Amino acid sequence: MNSMNLENKRIVVTGGAGFLGKQVVAQLIAAGADPAKITVPRSRDCDLRQWDACQRAVTQQDIVIHLAAHVGGIGLNREKPAELFYDNLMMGAQLIHAAYEAGVQKFVCVGTICAYPKFTPVPFKEDDLWIGYPEETNAPYGIAKKALLVQLQAYRDQYGFDGIYLLPVNLYGPEDNFDPRSSHVIPALIHKVHEAQAAGQTQLAVWGDGSPTREFLYSTDAARGIVMATQHYSGADPVNLGTGYEISIRDLVELICDVMAFQGELIWETDKPNGQPRRCLDIERARQAFGFEAQVDFRAGLKATVDWYRQQKTLQPV
């Protein structure tokens, strides 16, 4: 296993101030990176949809870890599919090209499992990425991100550019986005249960029928996997990052209600979309390629996420 020493590397982490990015920066430092040599561009100063911003971001950098994305749940994907396609494609494609031109040693692209076909055999194997079209509600986002895999493989073939592509499963954890207009399923549900409790409600409405399954990876586990891949993986093939543990939305909602001690009735809004029927990853490639395995127990991770969210709520001014 080839290993990259991070000690003297100049590293830029796009999206490094975000939910996952903060954890990646912490894991980089834990793995020996010099905090003074880690750069985190902010979107207000560095709009990666603009070519000159991409050039500035990668100048004199050794490693680029690309986490920045315009992302959200089913609601945002239905409302703004064009923005999600354009923003994510332009950010990634320009950043990869700028990094190649600047002589960056390694490019780490964090993709999305929304790139997988709607009816991928479970567990999802990386070799099945191209056997069908993604789930319609998030296809524009998923295809934009999947195009970056094609770009990295092409740049590897033509230029010898060391770019790797990782596919983390749905993430969760403290500091996630809990805005109900754009959040993913776990933070959205935690927010919804909290609001129901605060209002003294005895019922909780939930989108869909509860039948889809999902897999979730705690943010610190995901960050550790990204850093391990940065250090120890230089292959052309995409790599899943997950736990291999599949849970139905119905069981997830009931577990969150249990962790939060909400005992009201669940009302399933079956006229609302379910999203992709099943999601569970084959995680063998990550284990074999760079020794990654998730460590955080799911219930314990949920409790930590709920505790953080409730603490933030108590700190907010009334």
Report the CATH number at residue 18: 3.40.50.720
Dihedral class, residue 316 (left if φ above 0, else alpha if ψ from -120 to 50, else beta) = beta
Our separate counts of H helices and E strands in the chain read 10, 12
Q: What is the mean pLDDT of the chain?
A: 94
- Confidence (pLDDT) at 53: 97
The phi, psi pair for 179, rounded to 5°, reads -70, 120
Looking at the domain assignment, is residue 3 inside a domain?
Answer: no
Looking at the domain assignment, is residue 257 inside a domain?
Answer: no
Beta-strand pair 38-39/63-66: unpaired
Task: Tell me which residue range forms the domain holding 111.
Answer: 11-175+215-245+278-296
Q: Binning pLDDT at 50, 70 and 90, where does residue 304 land?
A: very high
Q: Binning pLDDT at 50, 70 and 90, where does residue 203 land?
A: very high
- Per DSSP, the residues of 1-24 read ------TT--EEEETTTSHHHHHH
Looking at the domain assignment, is residue 84 inside a domain?
Answer: yes
pTM over 0.75: yes
The domain total for the chain is 1
Looking at the domain assignment, is residue 194 inside a domain?
Answer: no
Give the tens place of pLDDT for each residue, 259-303: 999 999 999 999 988 877 888 999 999 999 999 999 999 999 999
Looking at the domain assignment, is residue 129 inside a domain?
Answer: yes
Q: Catalytic: which of 141, 155, 233, 309?
A: 141
The answer on pLDDT for 36 being more than 90 is: yes
Looking at the domain assignment, is residue 94 inside a domain?
Answer: yes
Looking at the domain assignment, is residue 138 inside a domain?
Answer: yes
Rounded to 10 degrees, the C-alpha dihedral 215/219/225/231 comes to 160
Q: Binning pLDDT at 50, 70 and 90, where does residue 225 land?
A: very high
- Confidence (pLDDT) at 274: 80
In which element (H, E) is residue 41 found? none
155 has catalytic annotation: no
The answer on pLDDT for 160 being more than 80 is: yes
Looking at the domain assignment, is residue 195 inside a domain?
Answer: no
